[in-house]
Structure formats: C-alpha cells, structure tokens
Amino acid sequence: MTSQPASTPTTTSKPAGTLTGIAASAPTTPPSTLTGKLPALGWNSWNAYGCNVNSAKVLAAANQFVSLGLKTAGYQYVNIDDCWAMTSRDPNTKRIVPDPSKFPNGINSLATQIHNLGLKIGIYSDAGTNTCADYPGSLGNEAIDAATFNDWGIDYLKYDNCYVPGNWTDSATPQGNDWYNSNSAIRYRQMGAALAGVSRPIQFELCIWGQANVWNWGARVGHSWRMTGDATATWTFITTAITTNVAHLSSVNFFSHNDMDMMEIGNGALTIQEQRTHFAAWVMLKSPILLGTDLSLLSSTQLAIIKNAELLAFHQDASVGTPAKPFTAFSNMPSTTVPEYFAGTSSKGVHVFIINTSSSTATKQFTFSNVPGLGTSGNFKVHDMWAGTDLSGTYAASSSFSVSVAAHDTVAYFISKA
C-alpha cells in the first residue's frame, strides 16, 4: 500500500468529540438485521480455484451442497471470490462487468440457478481502487456496485482490502482513538451504507485482515470481519487464528462474528486430527465457516467432520450467540501459548472442547466444578459430540474427567446433570 501524505491536518484546536475531515460526513448506517444473525455456513471459490473460477465450478459446488447433504446440514452460501470480472468497468453504466469467458450467461443467471436450489450466492469486491488480483475495486463506486449486486440477486458480499490509495490509509491513531472514524473503517462504512440502500438483505463480510481494531467497530458496519491474513492449510495457521481470536471473543454475538477465514479441510497435508480441530475451533468460536476446496474430492471422513450435526448445532444456535471461551480446567493447570480448554453454553446446556496442541498424544483432564455453568454440586454425565454417544458412568462435581487426545486433535463434549 502507498503511505499517507506526510502532512496531516492538526485537530488540536477542535473541541473534544468534534469530527473533522471525511469522518465528519461519513455514513453511520448499521448493517441489516434481516441477514447475518448467525455465522455464515457455505463455500468460497478461492482456496479451491483462485483466479480459475467460472460459472460451471460455482454451480457444481452448489449442486454438491445438495448431493452431499451439506444443504441439509445447514450450508447455504455459494460464494464467488476474486477474478470474476473484466478488468475495466462498462464505459457507459460504470458497472463492473462479469468476464463472459468465465460467466457466459452473467452472474444473475447463475444466481437464479443457485436460488432455485434453495441456496444463496455471494460475490467479492474490494474497499480499494482494485481487487487483490487487480480487477476493479469499489472504492468511490459503492452505490453503483451495491445496486449491481442487488440487481443480480446477490446475498453476500466479501469486501477485501487491497489497493488502498494513500489518502485512504491510516498513518496514525485516528481522532479520539476511535477506529470507527478511521479512514479504514470509513471505506467499509461507505459500502455498508450503499448495501443498506438496496432492496435485498446482503450479508456483509469486512475482509480487513484484522487491521484498524476492527473487532471494536465491525458490528456497527457489517456482520463479520476477518481477523487474520489469508488462511493456509497448515497447523500453524489454525493455531494462529485461534490465538488471535481468543483475545477478542467479547466481540462475538448475534450479527457480530470474528471471521477466522475460509476452511482448508481437503487442502494441503493437514492430518484428519488437524482438520477436526480446524472445524471444531471455527465452530466453538462462532466464526463463519466457508468451505474452500473442490467438494467432489472430500472423503467420507472429511464430510463427516463438516456435517457433524451436534457441532453445527452449537455454531448455529439461535438462542445463544456467544462463543466458547478458555477456562481453567483444573487447579494448577499449566498455561499454553494456544489455549487448550474451552467451555461454552448452547440452548441445550454446557459444552467443553479440548485441543491437544502438542505433537504427540496427551492426556487431558478437567474438574467438573471448574467448568463455567455447571455448578459445584450434583452429578454429571458426558456426551461425545463427535461420536453422538453418551459415555458410560456419572461424575460428581468434585471429580475429574480425563481423556487421551491424539496430537493436534480436539474432543468435544456436552455435559448435563445426571
């Protein structure tokens, strides 16, 4: 990115709380409450196809939602990422033009086909002059592009953060240390206002890479916001995304989701255990889950992970919007760089998730009375959410539960009164 001009206007003579510059007139429109209450479940084209995206591949993913049972499991968004457009706007209408070699019948025809399957369609643009792959961005054309997406039947917009002009970057802490009034936030606020002005409810993802303290203001502008750089199919990325998000879980609730980026299940050399942790972590932290692979290549084991009904029920709980959070599982519990023990509530009750971050099998334990929400008396039974089965026996509140967990794996339990 280019840098901010060296001289910036001083605001020392202004009364406290007075906004100056573009912040003084920037829109403050909140996001739609007709969409985005729960974290999105869907698919995105980028991790599978990059710039080699086309209507056939997108429609194939939509049809696989149906044939593989993903639609029944709750997945609904089929999202086109970068590289769908021509490199120049229409000279007369100023609209972005779909590349006819990739989308010969346009985007609206594809949207109709996807809607006819009972699914929703998403698209991609950028809060800069160009997208990350150098196609037209939407900065300065927000109203035109929102109207275009509305006319095409778009249900979801991923809005990226490349090619930001120097006068739109943040060279320093914004006025009053309020990042909602930063140049970065205002670029996203402008598209948010444009989306609010069209007839379709469009879920708005702020793909801002964890910049500008987005977790503090994202819910005033959109439904979810990226917390990291781009995902990779590595254990390091998974643990980094978890650690980054744990610091900002108070930002997560209905209509308000820290986005840990797209799923890498089916990509790279992740072990099955790492893929289970990838999915479980996104579930328990209530991140959007957008699958990012050629769905036809998923194994039955991988499909069982991403269709697990009990984990998805926690993720999509319409009564409880908050995520699971780290807790002290037993007295004198050693701390780890990546938290390993999480507890959260759903409309059913209390859940515990345990990640083994070490590279070998390890015994993990927790004391029932230490689990938030369980209380310090009575007896409890444990249900394995992955297997969908109850474990034998009951446990007193003062007793401990231990389990052997494979390297980089995650166990998930629902705990109830016996």
What are the tokens at 52? 């080699």
Identify the three-state secondary structure at position 352: strand
> Helices in 250-308 by DSSP H: which ranges?
272-284, 300-306
3-state secondary structure 356-397: CCCCCCEEEEEEHHHCCCCCCCCEEEEEECCCCEECCCCEEC
No. of helices (H) and no. of strands (E), the chain? 11, 17
| CA–CA gap between residue 373 and residue 349 (Å, rounded) | 8
Considering the candidates 160, 259, 317, 409, report the single residue annotated as catalytic.
160
Q: Which residues partner with 125 through β-bridges?
A: 159
Identify the three-state secondary structure at position 277: helix
C-alpha count within 13 angstroms, C-beta hemisphere, residue 41: 24
What are the tokens at 59? 């429609």
Q: Is 160 designated active site?
A: yes
Give the total residue count for the chain.
Answer: 418
Q: Is 230 designated active site?
A: yes
The CA-based dihedral angle spanning residues 279, 327, 348, 412, taken in that order and rounded to the nearest 10 degrees? 40
CA distances from 48 to 267, 268, 280, 398 (A): 8, 11, 21, 48
Contact 127, 159 (CB under 8 A): yes
Ordered DSSP codes for 130-164: B-TTSSB--TT-HHHHHHHHHHHT--EEEEE--S-
| CA–CA gap between residue 213 and residue 73 (Å, rounded) | 33
Contact 292, 231 (CB under 8 A): yes
Task: Give the active site residues.
Answer: 160, 230
